[in-house]
Amino acid sequence: MIATRVSVAVIAAILAGGAAFAADAPPGAAGCSGCHAASSRVDTPVPPLLGRPAADTSNQMIAFKSGERKGTIMDRIAKGFSDEEIRAIAAWYAEQK
């Protein structure tokens, strides 16, 4: 009985920590992880965003948005964000390690 309570408390703490992490993310940032790996150790042609300099990410997103840079999907995704939202997402990902 005590072990069950401890297990429930541990699981609740882990879930609460994950929820706090997600809550800190600006709107739209969570969707990036559908394609962008959460680790640089993953072998994929889609570059990871975690820890990448914010200026690099925001410049690329703005280039996709303007049509300066062509993409298969990123040009369409980027058009859904204002420049301020793009900078907020880029800054948040830059802070993640």
Which tens digit of pLDDT belongs to each residue from 3-58?
A: 444 333 434 333 334 433 444 899 999 999 999 988 778 888 899 999 999 999 99
- Where residue 86 sits, what CATH number does that domain have? 1.10.760.10
**92 pLDDT exceeds 80?**
yes
Three-class DSSP labels, 19-43? HHHHHHCCCCHHHHCCCCCCCCCCC
Q: Which residues constitute the domain of residue 27?
A: 2-95
Q: Quick one: pLDDT at residue 10? A: 36
What's the sign of the alpha-carbon dihedral 51, 56, 62, 64? negative
Place of tokens 């920590």: 17
User: What are the structure tokens assigned to 37, written together?
Assistant: 């790996």
Angle at 46 between CA 43 and CA 51, to 5 degrees: 90
1 falls in which pLDDT band (50, 70, 90)? very low
Tally the domains of the chain. 1
pTM to 2 decimals? 0.72
Strand (E) or helix (H) holding 63: helix 54-66
